[in-house]
Amino acid sequence: MTTIKVGLVDLGERLPISLRRLESEMNKHLTNFHFQLLEPVTTGRIGNPTIQNEWYDAHVLFQHLQSHRDFSKCDFLIGITHVKMTELPLNKSHERRDYFSLSDFNKLSVISLNHAVYRHNSPSKTTYQYVGYLITGELLINLAKQDLMHSATHYCLFDDCEDRSDFSKGMQKGEICIDCLSKLDKAGVGNDIVNQFKTLLRWCRRTSVCFALGRTILNPLTSLSLGTGTGWLCATLLSKQNILLVLIATTVLPIVLFIHYKFRSR
């Protein structure tokens, strides 16, 4: 199968992540795709917000991608930005005008890392997982050449998330509903491609190591275990026959808690 080329563009040069690392993660999980970091679009070029002095029009951001010098060299272009993004007409309430991501249903996508939307990311997921999840949805939409978003809440990748709190729930589930799988099939998106994106979704829904470690450290049982072990250590004055028991008492419970938070907790 021909490799699908995807360009990653920093729109605004104020990102909290490394696009080099994102490029590496995407190439690791999507073997039929080749992600490549392209020249950024500067803050000066994207200018000031064009909608009520607060939002950037997504279609204007698409134009910046379309005018990129490497536009013709890629099958798809994805812009990652720190700005607030919406689209006209403004037919939603103020707090729902911010979009996580948008596509032109053909080649271009923009993903926002602005706090207005990023704050709805699950605390157990990294920023890279958040972006990877959105990349999955927008690339599949552009591959299918149609809008796959639906108002029904199935905790599916393509839920419209009118209630923004549903975003993290959908990400934690990390699935594509049966109806959307049928639409992708009818649109000619092959099972091999869909299965690669399912692999990416499994990575996106993993609990991050930092989150699991933090929960483990803050758990009262960890303090109890460490306190018990330390007290026992002092009481026995590190006698050789008890050193192994002290180490077990001090470390086993925190390790069990970490495994629980990492692989069981969502």
CB-based contact 197:157 (threshold 8 Å): no
What is the C-alpha end-to-end distance of the chain, expressed in Å?
36
pLDDT tens per residue, the chain (266 residues)? Answer: 689 999 999 999 999 999 999 999 999 999 999 999 999 999 999 999 999 999 999 999 999 999 999 999 999 999 999 999 999 888 777 677 899 999 999 999 999 999 999 999 988 899 999 999 999 999 999 999 999 999 999 999 999 988 888 899 899 888 999 999 999 999 999 999 999 999 999 999 987 555 445 545 555 665 556 656 655 555 555 555 566 666 666 677 677 777 876 676 55
- Statement to judge: residues 8 and 90 lie in one domain: yes
| The one-letter amino acid at 39 | E
How many separate domains does the chain show? 2
- Statement to judge: residues 78 and 197 lie in one domain: yes
With b meaning 16 or more CB within 10 Å and e meaning fewer, what string describes 253-265?
Answer: bbeebbeebbeee
Domain boundary residue, one of 206, 226, 245: 206
- Statement to judge: residues 90 and 127 lie in one domain: yes
Q: What pTM did the predictor assign?
A: 0.80
- Statement to judge: residues 133 and 245 lie in one domain: no
101-103: strand order across its sheet: 33-37, 4-11, 76-81, 108-112, 101-103
- Statement to judge: residues 142 and 221 lie in one domain: no
Task: Please give the structure tokens belonging to residue 188.
Answer: 């000619």
Structural domain of residue 231, as residue ranges?
A: 211-263
CATH number where 16 lies: 3.40.390.10
- Statement to judge: residues 85 and 128 lie in one domain: yes
